[in-house]
Amino acid sequence: MKPPRFDYYDPHTLDEALALLAEHGDEGKILAGGQSLLPLLSMRLARPRVLIDINRLIELDYVRATDKEVRIGATARQRRIERSDAARRLPLLLDAIRWIGHPQIRNRGTVCGSLAHADPAAELPGVAAAVGATFVVRSAAGERLLQAEEFFVHYLTTGLRADEMLVEVRFPVFPNGWGWAFEEVSNRHGDYALCGVAAGVRVEEGRVVEARLAYVGVGPVPVRLVEAERAAACGEAVDEGARAAAAEAASRLEPDGDMHASAEFRRHLAGVLTRRALHRAHQRTASGDRAVQAPATPPDLAAGIGDRGVTLGERTQPPLELGGEPARRIRMRVNGVEHALTVPVRKTLADALREDLGLTGTHLGCEHGVCGACTVLLDGEAVRSCLLLAVQADGAELITVEGLGSPDRLHPLQQAFWEHHGLQCGFCTPGFLTTLVAFLRDNPAPTREQIREAISGNLCRCTGYVNIVDAVERAAALMRQGRSGS
Ligand code: FES
Ligand code: FES
């Protein structure tokens, strides 16, 4: 479960990135958030000769709103979208994004990266199909605009040419009167959908007069179903239209069956989720829910948002080798201590922490982003260190479980886990603790439901989650009281 060898470039401008793509063509692969690519590399399902890491392209880290559309640049992370005022004009996107993975995944994953990965069971392709997004793709030779049906070609396959990169996606802003909802069923919260539905309705005098419906997990590309949309807008009552749309979806979609769900079950889900999503979208037109309505006043048309939260290491380095493979000299501040080390470019951050710095409290369970055991804090955000290359942490501030507390002065979370028997073997515990440090910082008084969602990306094989949730409630109380817990 280690990435294969590759050459690594981290250009600082879009022109540099496009020149690299032009030079390497099919052998080059763009690395954006990396939350889908790193697992493929680690499982050796992808073997690019060259990795072009675009995370330093600050010029593409933006969310810009006009009264007609919201433009999202290639390096804008999903977490940023969740926190963005501009993105409030895209209620369907906000509704769908919460289904993507877990906070650790969304802290690194980008909107454009998810679209370019083109997994037909992912949420964002469904959103793009439902609203009719425009994809801005660029190469050194020029720019093209593609619509969703041109962009999504087949399983994990897009209309991007070898020398092109998705630099921006444009989501149209719908006028007030529309309500939106995203619904899905997956085996585990955060997994890809067995079936998902993106739904929107426009209501006049209580009647649905127009609808949008797009489905994920039911074929090689996201499917917009105009027959179901027409059916949804036919009935006098909302449920009449929703039932008719559900019947259309269940009869017209042609999903494949696999080890996770049969084709028949997916069709059944499509019908159930269609009704559910249409009802919720309709409620949102009626409730004036701010989370799903466009703001009355458009935000500053030109403004991007927020800081990038990316630290920059050395800009250029002479070519370096370690053990006969490409390497980089990097610097990281870990638990308050500066470190300089030379690492192969394919080495993950988890392996660098464990092998080079001896910080073995960061555990490796799955090594492809599923178990959460390797979670650390990178520039204050919880991330999975098996899904990051060590070179990507050059210049970063990191906190591992070793930096949280000490035996004679436990962190409140450690104290609470101890008090409430929140661990048995302890293998998963470092990942829970680091995940929860960031969660409680942002949510000092969480509900049990919020705690469950926060830890849904961390697997424990022996304790069970009740004691862990109890421990988190206790830790939150300790922290609100300003107590160390020791
Ligand atoms: Fe990184 Fe499992 S998520 S080891
Ligand atoms: Fe053993 Fe969680 S305490 S895996």
Ligand nearest to the CA of 38: 1
Q: What is the DSSP letter of 194?
A: S
Listed in sequence order, the residues at least 6 apart from 127 whose beta carbon sits closer than 8 Å to its beta carbon are: 92, 93, 96, 133, 171, 182, 198, 214
Atom of ligand 1 at shortest range from CA of 366: 2
pLDDT score at 323: 87
Atom of ligand 1 at shortest range from CA of 370: 3
Q: Which helix (H) or strand (E) holds 382?
A: strand 381-384
b (16+ CB within 10 A) / e for 226-244: eebbbbbbebeebeebbbb
Query: 78 C-alpha to center of ligand 1: Å?
Result: 20
pLDDT score at 87: 84
Give the mutation target among 38, 384, 435, 460 for probing the ligand 1 site: most ligand atoms within 8 A of CB: 384
Ligand nearest to the CA of 471: 2
Ligand nearest to the CA of 190: 1
Pocket lining: 457 vs ligand 1, CB cutoff 6 Å: no
Indicate the pairing of strand 178-185 with strand 195-204. Answer: antiparallel
Give the mutation target among 364, 418, 461 for probing the ligand 2 site: most ligand atoms within 8 A of CB: 461
pLDDT score at 286: 66
Complete DSSP assignment for 250-268: HHH--PPP-SS--HHHHHH
Which neighbouring-strand residues pair with 383?
376
Is the pTM here over 0.85, yes or no?
A: yes
Atom of ligand 2 at shortest range from CA of 460: 2
Residue 51 CA to residue 458 CA, distance in Å, equals: 29
Output the residue whose Cα is nearest ligand 2's atom 2: 460
Output the residue whose Cα is nearest ligand 1's atom 3: 369
Ligand nearest to the CA of 371: 1
pLDDT score at 318: 62
Give the mutation target among 188, 386, 400 for probing the ligand 1 site: most ligand atoms within 8 A of CB: 386
Output the residue whose Cα is nearest ligand 2's atom 1: 425
Q: What tokens appear for 371 in the block?
A: 């178990």
Residue 177 CA to residue 202 CA, distance in Å, equals: 6
Pocket lining for ligand 2, CB < 6 angstroms: 423-429, 460-463
Query: 354 C-alpha to center of ligand 1: Å?
Result: 13
Pocket lining: 101 vs ligand 1, CB cutoff 6 Å: no
Which neighbouring-strand residues pair with 389?
348
pLDDT tens per residue across all 486 residues of the chain = 799 999 999 999 999 999 999 999 899 999 999 999 999 999 999 999 999 999 999 999 999 999 899 999 999 999 999 988 888 899 999 999 999 999 999 999 999 999 999 999 999 999 999 999 999 999 999 999 999 999 999 999 999 999 999 999 999 999 989 999 999 999 888 888 999 999 999 999 889 999 999 999 999 999 999 999 999 999 778 899 999 999 999 999 999 999 999 999 999 999 999 999 999 999 999 665 444 443 333 333 233 333 333 344 444 566 789 988 999 999 999 999 999 999 999 999 999 999 999 999 999 999 999 999 999 999 999 999 999 999 999 999 999 999 999 999 999 999 999 999 999 999 999 999 999 999 999 999 999 999 999 999 999 999 889 999 999 999 999 999 986 543
Indicate the pairing of strand 7-9 with strand 50-53. Answer: parallel
Distance spanning both ends of the chain, measured CA to CA = 38
Query: 362 C-alpha to center of ligand 1: Å?
Result: 10
Ligand nearest to the CA of 383: 1
pLDDT score at 238: 87
Residue 274 CA to residue 251 CA, distance in Å, equals: 12
Ligand nearest to the CA of 373: 1
Burial (CB < 10 A; 0-12, 13-18, 19+), residue 215, is buried
Pocket lining: 351 vs ligand 1, CB cutoff 6 Å: no
Pocket lining: 58 vs ligand 1, CB cutoff 6 Å: no
Query: 363 C-alpha to center of ligand 2: Å?
Result: 11
Residue 9 CA to residue 30 CA, distance in Å, equals: 10
Query: 423 C-alpha to center of ligand 2: Å?
Result: 6
